[in-house]
Amino acid sequence: MALTVEIDPHSGFCGGVIRAIGSAERFLSEHPGRPLHSLGAIVHNEEELERLSRQGLVTVSKEDLPGLAAAGLTSLLIRAHGEPPETYRLASNLGFEVVDCTCPVVLKLQKDIRAAYERLQATGGGRVVIFGRIGHAEVLGLVGQVGGDAVVVEDAQMLRAFLSDGTIRRDARIELFSQTTKSPEEYAEIAGILSAFLADPSGLTVHDTICQQVARRHSKLSEFALSHDVVIFVSGTTSSNGQVLFGLCKSLNIRTFHISSEADLRKEWFRPDDRVGVCGATSTPKWLLERVASHIAGLSL
């Protein structure tokens, strides 16, 4: 048998990223020679960022905004991860034209968190708890919806620490949310720990906020990882979703390797008769998956 290579048909950009990149490319094509400034990386993939930078997309931080405004460079893209309300106020005060590419799923989550917080405040208080990665752009935007008055937990260990030190009390009413790209299994574990801890489990409201496209990808990717001898997982080094999905693949197939591009591939990972699966995160472009697969197919073993 010869080495065979298959690309996971369910991998590649999620809808929110496709929408954001499409909006950026459309703006740049309609305004030739005019740069578009993305507040943070539009996608957590170095290869795609390099491609877009050649078209005129420039990644900036909030600290850069006053200088850009002073220079008359006032085109600003809000990426799919979303931003807290204060960012929009700052952009408006500085005179920026905003291209808002916040993912509709994230927008709904932001709205739901604001509504939950208002409910809790109107009925004597409680805690908004968000399962997500501290410092992640989406999570910063979510916490900003309630002025920072939310508890963010990254995993079960952190949650148990908050339960033991009183950050979350047994008599509290909890509205629980998840970052849209987290593992459904881990989210269920977080909800289970909270339910068992609270004096009145009915005081816990668990919101279904993981993106369904992402949730379906978990089950499909599990099948994909188990059906191949070797799995090559392609994603950017800063992709939160990439870390979660790579971990899923690795837990099911020990011969799973993470790369950023075809330059990271190693011949010693492969055997001549291997069935190789190439897959990636919601931030991994299809063209990169195809380039990696082509490179693997051309290896001389």
Query: Which pLDDT band, with edges at 50, 70 and 90, does 141 fall under?
Result: very high
| CATH number of the CATH domain containing 144 | 3.40.1010.20
Look at 300 and 218; give whichever has higher pLDDT. 218
Residue 168 and residue 259 in one domain: no
Query: Same domain, yes or no, for 191 and 127?
Result: yes
> What is the average pLDDT across 102-126?
95
In a shared domain, residues 116 and 198: yes
Tell me which of 47, 138, 154, 175 is the catalytic residue: 138
pLDDT of 1 > 60? The answer is: no
Same domain, 97 and 59: yes
Average pLDDT, the chain: 95
- Number of domains present in the structure of the chain: 3
At 58-113, the pLDDT tens digits run: 999 999 999 999 999 999 999 999 999 999 999 999 999 999 999 999 999 999 99
Q: Residue 274: is its pLDDT beyond 70?
A: yes
Q: Are residues 271 and 248 in the same domain?
A: yes
Q: Is the pLDDT of residue 2 over 90?
A: no
Domain end position, chosen among 163, 184, 206: 206
pLDDT in tens, 224-247: 999 999 999 999 988 888 998 999
Question: 206: which strand partners?
Answer: 176
Q: How large is the average pLDDT for residues 147-176?
A: 96
Q: What is the pLDDT of residue 101?
A: 97
At which of 103, 119, 150 does a domain end? 103
Q: In what order do the strands lie in the sheet with 151-153?
A: 151-153, 127-131, 174-178, 204-206
What's the average model confidence in pLDDT over 272-285? 95
* pLDDT attached to residue 124: 85
Verify that 158 and 192 share a domain, yes or no: yes
Q: Comparing C-alpha atoms, which of 127, 96, 99 is closest to residue 24? A: 99
The string of pLDDT tens digits covering residues 5-50 is 999 999 999 999 999 999 999 999 999 999 999 999 999 999 999 9
- Write down the pLDDT at residue 301: 76
Are 222 and 195 in a shared domain?
no
Regarding whether 112 and 95 lie in a shared domain, the answer is no
CA of 230: how far to CAs of 4, 88, 200, 278, in Å?
A: 10, 45, 47, 9
Q: Are residues 91 and 73 in the same domain?
A: yes
Give the pLDDT confidence score for residue 225 in this predicted structure.
Answer: 97
Which CATH number goes with the domain that contains 80? 3.40.50.11270
Last residue of a domain, one of 103, 127, 149: 103
CA atoms of 34 and 194, how far apart (whole Å): 50
Q: Which of 1-15, 104-118, 150-164, 170-184 has the lowest mean pLDDT?
A: 1-15
pLDDT at 151: 98
Contact 101, 19 (CB under 8 A): yes
Domain span at 78: 15-103
Pairing outcome for strands 75-78 and 4-7: unpaired
Asked if 138 is an active-site residue, the reply is yes
**Do 112 and 201 belong together in one domain?**
yes
92 shares a domain with 48: yes
Using a pLDDT cut of 70, give the percent of the chain over it: 99
Same domain membership, residue 178 and residue 119: yes
pTM for this entry? 0.89
| Mean pLDDT on 162-168 | 96
